[in-house]
Amino acid sequence: MRKIIILSALVAFVAVGCKKKVNSVSTEVTVSYPTISFAGGNVYFSIPVGGGLPAISATAYDSFYKEVDNVVLDQSTLDNTTPGLYIVTATAQNKYGFTGTANVYVAVTNINSAINLAGTYARIDNSSNYLVTVSRLANGLYMSSNMTGNPAAVDPGVFVQTDDTTIIVPSQVTPGGTLYGTNAKVSMAVADTTYRYILGPSSNFSQSTRIFQKQ
């Protein structure tokens, strides 16, 4: 914890001549931020296109000042009419104005809930056959253990399946930098499920097409 000095002004009025005297008083406070927690620990949600906004329950607590703080959810960034992945930011402020934040991820997709891309995939567009793990976070929303498919650059990330042939790789920050996908597709042949994308040209990654085949 670090401490800061908050200055407040005490104003004393003198009746004669309507003069005033300003005295500054300093108060030392410890910097502490509320911690935001979500019901069930869930920060990944999925809703259909045109569906209602998810019921997100969150609480905030400042362990240093022993106070419960109000949580405000900014859902203005969520467009339930357009498939994709949206970030809802939760904020909470303690009595000294120090603000804690946390993010919730909401996929908007009409993909059938029976479809599940989770599993182990090998990168097959080069000779490495490097394995990545794809985990299902919510309907149509997945986490890859390594978006680059490169053992020298392990960058976990998320993508959304919006229909039988399309995935969306939204802009996201990874250990290797900010990445996003273009030309992102999925093929769900019975004996050969693959997905592919090109990492965006403004990212720090090569622009080769990365193809991952389910094992």
Q: How would you write the pLDDT of the chain (215 residues) with one tens digit per residue?
A: 666 665 555 444 444 445 555 555 667 889 999 999 999 999 999 999 999 988 899 999 999 999 999 999 999 999 999 999 999 999 999 999 999 999 999 999 999 999 999 999 999 999 889 999 999 999 999 999 999 999 888 999 999 999 999 999 999 988 888 889 999 999 998 789 999 999 987 667 888 899 999 99
Q: In this predicted structure, what is the pLDDT of residue 58?
A: 95
Q: Which H or E run contains 126?
A: none
DSSP string, 48-103: -TTPPPP---EEEEETTTTEEE-EEEE-TT--TTS-EEEEEEEEEE-TT--EEEEE
Q: Hey, what domains does the chain have and what are their CATH numbers?
A: 35-108 (2.60.40.10), 119-214 (no CATH)
| CA gap 55, 79 in Å, rounded | 15
Q: For residue 41, give the 3-state DSSP assignment.
A: helix
Q: In this predicted structure, what is the pLDDT of residue 206?
A: 83
Q: In this predicted structure, what is the pLDDT of residue 105?
A: 95
> Among positive and negative, which fits the CA dihedral 163, 166, 168, 169?
positive
Place of tokens 């290797």: 176
Judge residue 20's burial from the number of C-beta atoms within 10 Å of its C-beta, 0-12 exposed, 13-18 middle, 19 or more buried.
exposed
Q: In this predicted structure, what is the pLDDT of residue 92?
A: 97
Residue 122, token pair as written in the block? 């090998």
Is beta strand 84-93 parallel, antiparallel or unpaired with respect to 71-74? antiparallel
Q: In this predicted structure, what is the pLDDT of residue 65?
A: 93
> How far lies 92's CA from each of 77, 103, 190, in Å?
18, 12, 47
Residue 159, token pair as written in the block? 């993508």
Residue 53, token pair as written in the block? 């906004």
pTM over 0.85: no
Q: In this predicted structure, what is the pLDDT of residue 11?
A: 47
